[in-house]
Amino acid sequence: MNYPYFRTFLRKSCSGCIPSSLSKATQRRPSEGDFISNNIEGKVVVITGASSGLGEVTAWLLSAPCASVVLGAPRTDRLQSLADELIGSGGKALAVTTDVTHCSQVKRLVDTAVQNYGRIDVIINNAGLMPQSPLERLKIDEWN
């Protein structure tokens, strides 16, 4: 994976907490004074759209220092691979196959997070979906 526009950001903020496929930075854990502060320590973060792009990078940035991440996305193989990589790097991660266009799957994602960690502190709704009409038309049914 190649995210050239993140390279400078990652080098300055969290070098070492993400794999070399996302950053060529030296491999080290974030330390005090780095971009991620300790106020995320011990938090449980649910991330939708976590199997690639911003969701994946967010998972790396938050799990490396000390947050538990619960990853949701429809691509099971990529999602589980990411969770395994995060765990292998010392993070806490759980993969839950989730298509956000199905309310029952979103409920399962939330329920799984609460069952495993006892609570949810942060939800990052990063999953992308394309509405069929402009938002101002308020065709809510098209979003579900």
Tokens of 105: 């799957």
List the chain pLDDT tens, one digit each, 144 residues: 444 444 444 444 444 444 545 443 334 444 444 454 557 888 999 999 999 989 999 999 898 768 999 999 999 999 999 999 999 988 999 999 999 989 899 999 999 999 999 999 999 999 876 666 666 777 766 665
Residue type, 116: N
The listed CATH number (3.40.1260.10, 3.40.190.10, 3.40.250.10, 3.40.50.720) that belongs to domain 37-143: 3.40.50.720
Predicted local confidence at residue 128, as pLDDT: 77
